[in-house]
Chain A
């Protein structure tokens, strides 16, 4: 199990939960598991998000591995100038 931290605005899609434990070994699995648990998150995730794993932010990378003790945060999608 790995804990996924959401931004607080997503509370309304998760019955108030902001840290959700899912069974996952990659970012992709974690996102799929999140949607399975809370289908309301689907449009948010599909619209494009970034994920911070152990402090490092990535925009795609569904195959990026997660460890049980990884720190994982969902973030609004980043882009640059």
Chain B
């Protein structure tokens, strides 16, 4: 099984890697590029811990092959902060204690960012349905939803 050379852009950086065509984008991010912020919780698209965006579209990176990333633009949790400046969602998650173990957090942050880009003023229900594919077993979601709502308000300038 020969490997395929893949060139892509991850968090603004041009990167290259050799992928076995069976490897998922998640495998390639974690094992070839050392970007272990995206997590595997299920491998079947049911938990959302591996959420990334490809060309701006939110996906589960466990359901994308690494070879499909060729020529795309990929954003992961590692690219969410602007240097030392956290994204408002990241800051609000810490302030609201919206994480306990923190394992689902990267995927939820990436998904929530995609939501706020599409809908800057989501209702509680819209947040809950958008994040339904991001399982969290620790928090009961309450503080996560509040943190997203608070970050959205701040980003709208309403905070």
Direct contact of A and B (CB under 8 A): no
Using a CB–CB cutoff of 8 Å, the interface residues on chain A facing chain B are none
